[in-house]
């Protein structure tokens, strides 16, 4: 059995992190068997190295090794790609085609991004794992295959199972042995080592002097989050190698090649509103309506009292004050607006009253409020009729003078005359 260091040199793996070494050890130990392996880790950590190690150290090393990116194959054709199809199975199937499981018989298939497989394909894959059988698309003939499956994913499989995007039974068949590769930010001691290796490779590739980092640039390199992991680090090293004339890279120069995303942590925003949020909004709306109703009742009572006193100018002045309280400072408010508000029948809220959300209680409250409103309106109706008659008699039927005395517009007075049939 080869050592971890020998495997690193053979497959070009850089780093001495204990988590990385443990992952390689597990790959070496599981390689001689035929059990399924699931490789987990963030995107860009180098998961594709593990299935290569497993294949090369197994008795299948002389068989075919096929890597399939499940996320890159359209859902409508992935069954045909993996299991093959018969001629005429669907539009465009002009000839019989062998799938990867048939071609790789006796070898190893690496299913990258296995979490992206459609549910129907997951059922077919589960059958291959259980008894090595599959059926081509458009065929009824069962075929056998002897394939070692190594899968990889960067998604949280338990979350995918919870959301019913991945079958739980398939997960446990795939993850007989699970190998986790750590993120680059968890391998602090390996970051500068990897950067130097990439810088040396690109200097050789582009035939130019190797770039080097200053001490402050090295500190920045180690503190950065590296959300894209090794892939992002390699990309930054290549950009700097090609674009920078000065081969000593300072922290400010390195910073210009790093996305300025703060801590690089995603913001979690909860767009869903709970039931209690809607309940609170409803209570606030009720309070606003009850306050408006109270203001309208005050307006009617004050108008009635001042009409009894016969002081029309005081009536108009007090009305304007209450109207501003209800509507704000909008100068466009008219007497017609007040009359429209008076028809609202919203129950007053007392300190003893407790409100529930049952339709029967709500109906009773509004019915009770309508009865009170009807009594108040009838009383005001009589007073209005009496005052309008007196004012018209005093001014010999001149509506303009009568309207000024009553503190209302001439148009409103005309409508009242028509309404009361004067």
Tens of pLDDT, residue by residue over 37-84, are: 999 999 999 999 999 999 999 999 999 999 999 999 998 899 999 999
Whether the per-residue pLDDT at 176 is higher than 60: the answer is yes
314 vs 290: which has the higher pLDDT: 290
8 A C-beta contact, residue 336 and residue 412: yes
Residue pair 241/202 in contact by the 8 Å Cβ criterion: yes
Is pLDDT larger for residue 294 or for residue 166?
166
**Residue-level length of the chain:** 422
Residue scoring higher pLDDT (210 or 284): 210
Across the range 272-286, mean pLDDT stands at: 61
Number of H helices, E strands in the chain: 18, 11
Set out the domains of the chain in order of their start, with CATH numbers: 4-182 (3.40.50.300), 185-255 (1.10.8.60), 280-420 (no CATH)
3-class SS at 230?
A: helix
Q: What local confidence, expressed as pLDDT, does residue 299 receive?
A: 76
Rounded to 5°, angle at Cα 206 from 204 and 207:
60
- Would you say the C-alpha torsion 4, 174, 46, 98 has a positive or negative sign? positive
Query: Which range among 75-89, 337-351, 358-372 shows the weakest confidence by mean pLDDT?
Result: 337-351
Give the pLDDT confidence score for residue 137 in this predicted structure: 93
Which of 78-87, 119-128, 273-282, 368-377 is least confident?
368-377
Least confident range from 150-154, 253-257, 298-302, 316-320: namely 316-320
Percent of the chain with pLDDT over 90: 58
Give the contacts of 169 (CB within 8 A, at least 6 positions apart). Answer: 126
Contact at 8 Å (CB) between 171 and 161? yes
pLDDT at 320: 60
The Cα–Cα gap between 58 and 33 comes to 7
| 398-415 residue pLDDT tens | 888 888 887 888 778 778
pTM of the model: 0.61
Compute the average pLDDT of residues 165-180.
95
- At residue 302 the predicted structure's pLDDT band, cuts being 50, 70 and 90, is confident
Cβ–Cβ under 8 Å, residues 399 and 413: yes
**Interior/surface letters 72-96, b for 16+ CB within 10 angstroms, e for the rest:** ebeeeebbbbbbbbbeebeeeeeee
> How confident is residue 316, by pLDDT bands cut at 50, 70 and 90?
low
Task: Examine the pLDDT at 309 and tell me if it is beyond 90.
Answer: no
Using alpha carbons, select from 122, 103, 115 the residue that is nearest to residue 70. Answer: 115
**pLDDT value for 244:** 93
75-84, 112-121, 124-133, 324-333: segment of lowest average pLDDT: 324-333
pLDDT digits (tens, 9 = 90+) for 215-267: 999 999 999 999 999 999 999 999 999 999 999 999 999 999 998 744 444 44
> 10 Å Cβ neighbour count for 306?
19
What pLDDT score was predicted for residue 318? 60
Higher pLDDT, 284 or 5: 5
Residue 189 has pLDDT above 80, yes or no: yes
* Residue 370 predicted with pLDDT over 90: no
pLDDT score recorded for residue 273? 46
pLDDT, residue 345, reads: 40
**What region does 328 belong to: left with phi over 0, alpha with psi -120 to 50, or beta?**
left
Q: Higher model confidence: residue 299 or residue 103?
A: 103
pLDDT (average), residues 368-378: 48
Residue 391, pLDDT score: 81
pLDDT averaged over every residue in the chain: 82
Most confident stretch, 254-258, 316-320, 416-420: 254-258
């Amino acid at each position: 059995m080869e050592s971890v260091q020998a495997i690193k040199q053979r497959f070009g793996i850089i780093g001495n992190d204990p988590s990385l070494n443990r992952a390689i050890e597990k790959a070496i130990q599981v390689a001689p068997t035929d059990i399924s392996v699931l490789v987990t880790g963030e995107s860009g950590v180098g998961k594709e190295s593990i299935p290569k190690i497993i294949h090369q150290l197994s008795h299948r090393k002389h068989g075919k090794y096929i890597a399939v990116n499940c996320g890159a194959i359209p859902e409508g054709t992935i069954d045909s790609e993996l299991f093959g199809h018969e001629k005429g199975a669907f539009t465009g199937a002009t000839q019989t085609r062998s799938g990867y499981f048939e071609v790789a018989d006796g070898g190893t298939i690496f299913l990258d991004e296995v979490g992206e497989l459609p549910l129907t394909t997951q059922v077919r894959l589960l059958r291959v794992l259980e008894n090595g059988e599959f059926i081509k698309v458009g065929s009824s003939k069962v075929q056998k295959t002897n394939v070692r499956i190594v899968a990889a994913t960067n998604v949280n499989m338990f979350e995918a199972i919870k959301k019913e995007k991945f079958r739980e039974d398939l997960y446990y068949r795939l993850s007989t042995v699970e190998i986790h590769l750590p993120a680059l930010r968890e391998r602090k001691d390996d970051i500068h080592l990897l950067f130097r290796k990439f810088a040396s490779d690109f200097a050789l590739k582009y035939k130019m002097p190797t770039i080097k980092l200053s001490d402050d640039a090295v500190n920045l390199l180690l503190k950065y989050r590296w959300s894209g992991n090794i892939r992002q680090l390699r990309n930054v090293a290549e950009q700097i190698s090609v674009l920078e004339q000065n081969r000593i890279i300072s922290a400010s120069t390195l910073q210009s090649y790093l996305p300025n995303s703060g801590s690089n942590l995603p913001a979690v925003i909860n767009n869903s509103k709970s039931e209690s949020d809607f309940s609170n909004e409803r209570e606030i709306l009720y309070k606003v309506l009850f306050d408006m109703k109270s203001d309208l009742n005050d307006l009617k009572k004050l108008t009635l009292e001042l009409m009894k006193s016969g002081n029309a100018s005081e009536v108009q002045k007090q009305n304007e004050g209450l109207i501003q309280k209800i509507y704000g400072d909008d100068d466009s408010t008219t007497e017609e607006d007040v009359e429209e508000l008076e028809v609202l029948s919203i129950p007053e809220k007392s300190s003893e009253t407790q409100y529930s959300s049952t339709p029967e209680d709500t109906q009773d409250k509004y019915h009770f409020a309508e009865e009170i409103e009807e009594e108040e309106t009838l009383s005001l109706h009589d007073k209005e009729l009496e005052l309008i008659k007196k004012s018209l008699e005093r001014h010999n039927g001149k509506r303009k003078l009568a309207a000024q005395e009553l503190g209302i517009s001439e148009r409103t007075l005309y409508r009242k005359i028509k309404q009361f049939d004067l």
